[in-house]
Amino acid sequence: MLDALTVLSIPSPSNGVWYLGPVPLRGYALAIILGIVAAIWIGERRWVARGGRSGDIQDLAIWAVPFGLVGGRIYHVLTDSALYFGSGGNAVEALYIWRGGLGVWGAIAFGALGVVIGARRKGIKLLPVLDAMAPGVLVAQAIGRWGNWFNQELFGKPTDLPWGLEIDADHRPLGYSDPDQLFHPTFLYESLWCLLGFVVVVWADRRFRLGHGRVVALYVMVYTVGRAWIEMLRIDSVELDNVLGLRFNVWTSIVLFLAALVWFVVSARRHPGREEQVYVDGRHDDVPSEQTHEQTDQQTDTDQLPG
């Protein structure tokens, strides 16, 4: 039976780095970059469909992406500081972002801060543009999780399910020495959950014409529900692995879910419907007339997928 499961199992890559001459190409970095490109493409189409100018999301990404990378790394280092500043740690390795270690909540928080700065500079209303961008972030997270597969990290508990993940001995925690042992592929669970969440959020946005930050709130609720149960499957060593009986990231998901739920309900009561204007101080008047036709076409396209 074990041999049959091994045949059906998910193999891990023997190497997550390839070289183009002297230049290393890292699977983790490629997954992050591809996710960012997908998020910008989806966000751009949704923004134009909402009445925004083509190119705005690309401009905001110039702020959001570096802020998000820095924030994600800061969150990881703060919540696992012993890896770098504890006994046997190397503080310089806190800068080695290519080895993995990006905390999603730090990335989202700092990335949103970058959007705030960029939106203020361009005269864009914040909530409409965040609503336009949020579903694409789920796709970015779905793609980015495959970076954990390349690094053989953040996998789950042992399992005898046929889709168990193979992990090399060098990447296993202590106490898991059985070479035939398979593990829950939590990277795959989260990737599929995020893609499902993308479909749900886009459908809800189309069906109910969500506005005033409710797309963002729904994104947070959908993601945190999945992140909570997936986090409880993981066995990677973290510094805050027992905070009142739960891992810190599980508590983070619970708190953020409740906060997003409150925002969704209060926003729906105070501001039903969707914003008609997406720029401040009449900046929407700058949208070229030819783009108005493009928005109509893209609204049809986004009703089919990006929403």
- Specify the pLDDT at position 296: 47
Q: pLDDT tens digits, residue range 297-306?
A: 445 444 445 4
For residue 265, is pLDDT > 90? yes
Of 77, 245, 79, 210, give the one whose Cα is nearest residue 135.
210
Q: How many CA atoms lie within 13 A of 261 on its CB side?
A: 11
Cα dist. 32→105, 143, 282 in Å? 15, 7, 36
Average pLDDT value over all residues in the chain? 89
- Specify the pLDDT at position 10: 95
Average pLDDT of the residues in 269-280: 95
Single-letter code of the amino acid located at 15: N
- The token pair that represents 256 in the structure block: 């953020």
Instruction: Report the distance separating Cα 260 and Cα 255, nearest Å.
Output: 9
Domain range list for the chain = 26-151+182-274
Angle between helices 186-208 and 214-231 (to 10 degrees): 160
For residue 187, is pLDDT > 70? yes
Q: Is 28 exposed, middle or buried (0-12, 13-18, 19+ CB in 10 A)?
A: buried
- Specify the pLDDT at position 240: 82
**pTM to 2 decimal places:** 0.88
Average pLDDT of the residues in 107-118: 97
Q: Is the dihedral of CA 159, 165, 170, 172 positive or negative?
A: negative
Percent of the chain with pLDDT over 90: 75
Indicate the range of 78-82, 216-220, 285-289 predicted with least confidence: 285-289
Instruction: Report the distance separating Cα 128 and Cα 58, nearest Å.
Output: 16
- Specify the pLDDT at position 290: 43
- Specify the pLDDT at position 294: 47
Indicate the range of 114-128, 229-243, 264-278 predicted with least confidence: 229-243
- Specify the pLDDT at position 287: 54
Average pLDDT of the residues in 215-232: 98
Angle between helices 56-79 and 27-49 (to 10 degrees): 140
